[in-house]
Amino acid sequence: MSTRLTAIVLGVLLTLASVQAEDGAKITHSFLATGGETYLQDGDGKVLWSYPKSTRDGWVLPNGNLLLAVSKSNDGGSVVEVTREGKTVFEFKGTQSEVNTVQPLANGNILLTEAGDKPRLLEVTREGKIAVEVPIQAQTKDHHLQSRMARKLANGNYLVPQLLDKVVREYQPDGKIVWEVATPNWPFTAIRLENGNTLINCTIGHLTIEVDKVGKTAWQVSNEDFPSKPFDDACGAQRLPNGNTMITAYHAKPGQTKLFEVTPDKRIVWTYTDQRTAGIHHFQILDTNGKPIPGSPLR
């Protein structure tokens, strides 16, 4: 067998091995991965679609198109909607340093963040017009570490993780801060759960916490809970319908765990590994064992 063919077979075997639960039961997930490489992958490890640019955040839309926050490249980044054939059907170009977040909204608008001297949240229409602008009260000495996975909440407010400020804030549309919690390390993802708690990933703190409405930690999980030390820059997260939490290890190297699913009692029941040099910045889990995840994912 040639060296190249051996490498391909080994890579496939490593990918398939990564979808085995620790207790031996078969679990599969298909997902969208964003980061240095952008792709859709099914539960058997087959790449269904890929995009040629680095991305920060993204969603598979009901029509099958992909909504992506594209990393900056001699520009201020952008938001695009692309078809499976690679055709761009929507684009909004950032006007400052970076665009790090994107979220499709129920009203048809698109939420994004702009990092720069005037950090802000924007809701833009499908015609590319700014419908809502919300200033973010964040440090400006490091644009890259201003904010990440901002999300619009059911109450109409916006939840914003602010990395270097080490705080997660909830903003009203008028820019007023109505809730905040200090975090032990840089917050990357903040998810408002159905019980009112907030799930937060602390990147290089290698830590995930869940805090209640007054900011008290109700649950946390970290490398201290596992001999395998799966946390390696905890960027994206998603709370699954079964109550488990999916976490990415963005700095994971080829052959290391890049995604893992942990139960409330801190058991790892699924891991994903591949041979790519690029880590997974954020992701969207699309199905479990071939069954689509209902409703809007909490991510």
Per the structure, the complete domain to which residue 184 belongs is given by: 16-290
Does residue 7 belong to any structural domain of this protein? no
Q: What's the pLDDT score for residue 74?
A: 80
Question: φ, ψ for residue 136 (rounded to 5)?
Answer: -100, 125
Does residue 8 belong to any structural domain of this protein? no
Element (H, E) at 112: strand 110-115
Residue 214 has pLDDT above 50, yes or no: yes
Does residue 147 belong to any structural domain of this protein? yes
Q: Alpha-carbon distance 276 to 256, whole Å?
A: 10
Q: What's the pLDDT score for residue 118?
A: 97
Q: What's the sign of the alpha-carbon dihedral 161, 166, 170, 171?
A: negative
Q: Alpha-carbon distance 108 to 116, whole Å?
A: 26
**Which two tokens mark 197?**
């708690």
Does residue 10 belong to any structural domain of this protein? no
Residue 99 has pLDDT above 50, yes or no: yes
Strand partners, 292: 287
Name the one residue in this structure whose structure tokens are 């190249």. Answer: 4
Q: Alpha-carbon distance 284 to 279, whole Å?
A: 14
Name the one residue in this structure whose structure tokens are 């880590």. Answer: 279
Q: How far, CA to CA in Å, does 94 sit from each of 90, 208, 245?
A: 13, 30, 31
Does residue 295 belong to any structural domain of this protein? no
Does residue 4 belong to any structural domain of this protein? no
Q: Alpha-carbon distance 153 to 271, whole Å?
A: 29
> What is the tally of structural domains in the chain?
1
Residue range 266-288: average pLDDT?
Answer: 97
CATH number of the domain that residue 258 is part of: 2.120.10.30
Q: What's the pLDDT score for residue 205?
A: 96
Residue 102 has pLDDT above 50, yes or no: yes
pTM: 0.91
Q: For the chain, how big is the Rg over CA atoms in Å?
A: 19
pLDDT tens, residue by residue, 234-257: 999 999 999 999 999 999 999 999
Q: Alpha-carbon distance 209 to 220, whole Å?
A: 4
Q: What's the pLDDT score for residue 3?
A: 36
Residue 15 has pLDDT above 60, yes or no: no
Return the DSSP state at 16.
H
